[in-house]
Structure 1
Amino acid sequence: MIKRRKLHILTCLLMMMVLLLLLLSQQRSEETIKYFPLDSSIAFTSAETKLNLLQETGNDQYQVKWESNSTLDDPIYLRQDISILFMDGRLKGIKGLWKEQEKNINLEVIFEESDSSHFQAITFHHGEAHYPNDEIKSVQQMTTDHLYVIDSPYTALESFRLPSSHLQKEWKETIDRTTNQQLQFVWKEWLKVSNINSNDYQLYSLIDLIQLEKQPIEGLTLHQTKRIIGQLWEGLYKNYILPVANKPETKNQMMPIILIDKNLDHLIVLFTNERNEVETLYQKLSLDN
């Protein structure tokens, strides 16, 4: 009887350990973006990020739809998309989705806002393909969208990406000037606190990383650039996205800035944490597969 009870307890403990390992394994796959060598045999058939003004909701507010989607021809081991939204240069939201044995990812958020603003979103579409002998490769692409919304008591609610009237041009210039002044001031302070000489680096805002989707970093090939971008998003996800995604106090943070060493030795990402302290993410540039 005692032996049978011990066997039962041992079996239960083993089952609990197996379940725990499975849960931890699932959590690791869901809570990481990992760069692997790019798979030349796989490409996204479609990938996009979209921002659209929907309607007024009363009380001087309006609705905006923020969405992203990406599609492959066939399912692969792991699909991951992460999208980051900024409003007037400040963090508005972060959304992500992870699926196993999937080819499509669709994200959609409808939110309310007020006042005239410039919304910018960037999405990193990613996937892992697993092959025999533990070979893992990846597929990746960045997409972005932006939208100006003009909410004035003197004109009808409207939105645009490129201004098509004199009034829209004036609003764009006003919003851009205010946003850029704030960003430049904050970034200058971050550089000062971090004791970094900006003349030694190529500077990109997080949104401006989209430029490197088709244009290589100066001195590198496009393939090397994509490798660096994949590794950068791996670091961003672990050190910036995960820590701030679910903390209300991190909203309204100013947009991070990326500094790429002109000697192509390393890159640095500057941003602030929930205590408004400057954080520094340092990564050595690895140019070989």
Structure 2
Amino acid sequence: MKYIWLSICAFLIFLMVFYFYNVSKEETVVKYFPIAEDVTFDKAETLLSYQEGEGDDEYEVGWKTSSKSTEPVYLRQDVSLLYVNGRLKGVVNKWKENEAKLTKHSTLHGEETKKYEAISFHHGEVHKGEDVINSIQATTYDKLYIVDSPHSKRMAFKNAESKEEEEWQNKLDHSIHQQLEVQWDGLKSYYQIPQGQYEQVPLTDLHSFNEENPFPYTSSEQYNRISGQLWEGLYKNYVLGIKDAKSKHPIQSYIPLLLFDKNGKHLMVLYEDDQGEKHQLIQYY
């Protein structure tokens, strides 16, 4: 009997060690290191696509992330966030060791008129020898408008090409922006953010910045470090969710707001989880 209890205890200890090892490893996967000079991405892409559904009132949305580095690296990871009408609906997080290529495809059930947005961070950890660690990174984005109205034929488009599509695009964008502004104003008021001190950028706009077009009030030389450390913080605090006894997480929450200090000293990330708890992340340059 004593031997059985010892075996059970040893097994439970093994499970605890295994669990905490995996959680710790997962939480530190996305980590910024100086950008590699001899390894880059051949390809990095986020793609949303429309697919017919089985019924007249249903359709499917394809959600694909893919990336390929010029050579296999120690650790490859793609993280993608999907927002529907401004609310987080899904997170894809795929990683492999000693790989160059990653591909992940998901299909979501959809109905009614909606705007779909997906933003992805593609990351690679490059080990050269025992002491030198570098990284590669890229941010990609895609959007898809699906109009499912009883008064018109179902439409799916990324950018309006007709007057009818333009009207629907403007209507959706305006409605979503109004909801986001209410959410963001509440967060700025809660954290007493001084008006006029920051330039605000939705998280879904991160793809529009690069070395040639750096973040507001920063320089091209700072871009890679700020972007890499920003995604490192987002992954740990936002993507992995808020793990506690109440199982709170950011699913169903609105798109986070990024605030760039006009003095070029720091940025903030403001968001609210599905339980209504507000969060503020601060990153100093």
Under a length normalisation based on structure 1, what TM-score does the superposition of the two structures give?
0.87
Unaligned 5+ residue runs, structure 2?
none
Deviation of 1:59 (Å): 5.9
Measure, in 1, the Cα distance between the counterparts of 2:230 and 2:106: 25
Match of residue 224 from structure 2: 226
Change (3 A) 1:59 1:96: same
Match of residue 213 from structure 2: 215
1:92-241 equivalences under 5 Å are: 92-213=89-210, 214-241=212-239
Runs of 4+ with >6 A deviation = 15-23
Deviation of 1:61 (Å): 1.4
Measure, in 2, the Cα distance between the counterparts of 1:218 and 1:91: 25
Asked if 2 retains the 8 angstrom alpha-carbon contact of 1:85 and 1:121, the reply is: yes
Match of 1:230, as an amino acid?
A: G
- 2:75 corresponds, among 63, 69, 78, to 78
Verify: 1:271 aligned to 2:271, yes or no.
yes
Verify: 1:31 aligned to 2:30, yes or no.
no
Asked if 1 retains the 8 angstrom alpha-carbon contact of 2:88 and 2:255, the reply is: yes
Change (3 A) 1:118 1:283: same
Verify: 1:282 aligned to 2:253, yes or no.
no
Asked if 2 retains the 8 angstrom alpha-carbon contact of 1:91 and 1:254, the reply is: yes
Change (3 A) 1:169 1:69: same
Verify: 1:251 aligned to 2:251, yes or no.
yes
Q: How many residues align?
A: 275
Measure, in 1, the Cα distance between the counterparts of 2:71 and 2:17: 29
Q: CA RMSD in A?
A: 2.5
Deviation of 1:30 (Å): 2.9
Measure, in 2, the Cα distance between the counterparts of 1:252 and 1:27: 23
Q: Kindly indicate which of the two structures has a greater share of residues assigned to helix.
A: 1
Change (3 A) 1:248 1:161: farther
1:32-71 equivalences under 5 Å are: 32=28, 33-58=30-55, 60-71=57-68
Change (3 A) 1:76 1:16: farther
Measure, in 2, the Cα distance between the counterparts of 1:19 and 1:75: 31
Asked if 2 retains the 8 angstrom alpha-carbon contact of 1:259 and 1:267, the reply is: yes
Deviation of 1:78 (Å): 0.3
- 1:191 aligns to what SS in structure 2? helix
Deviation of 1:274 (Å): 3.3
Deviation of 1:229 (Å): 0.8
- 1:243 aligns to what SS in structure 2? coil
- 2:264 aligns to what SS in structure 1? coil
Deviation of 1:218 (Å): 3.9
Cα shift readout 1:85-133 (whole Å, capped 9, x = no counterpart): 1111111111110111111111111001111111111000001011223
Asked if 2 retains the 8 angstrom alpha-carbon contact of 1:149 and 1:158, the reply is: yes
- 2:182 aligns to what SS in structure 1? helix
Sequence identity, in percent? 36
Measure, in 1, the Cα distance between the counterparts of 2:39 and 2:123: 11
Asked if 1 retains the 8 angstrom alpha-carbon contact of 2:112 and 2:149, the reply is: yes
Asked if 2 retains the 8 angstrom alpha-carbon contact of 1:128 and 1:136, the reply is: yes
- 1:91 corresponds, among 88, 92, 101, to 88
Measure, in 2, the Cα distance between the counterparts of 1:274 and 1:219: 32
Asked if 2 retains the 8 angstrom alpha-carbon contact of 1:244 and 1:274, the reply is: no
- Further displaced range: 102-111 or 150-159: 150-159
Change (3 A) 1:224 1:258: same
Deviation of 1:248 (Å): 8.3
Measure, in 1, the Cα distance between the counterparts of 2:120 and 2:25: 19
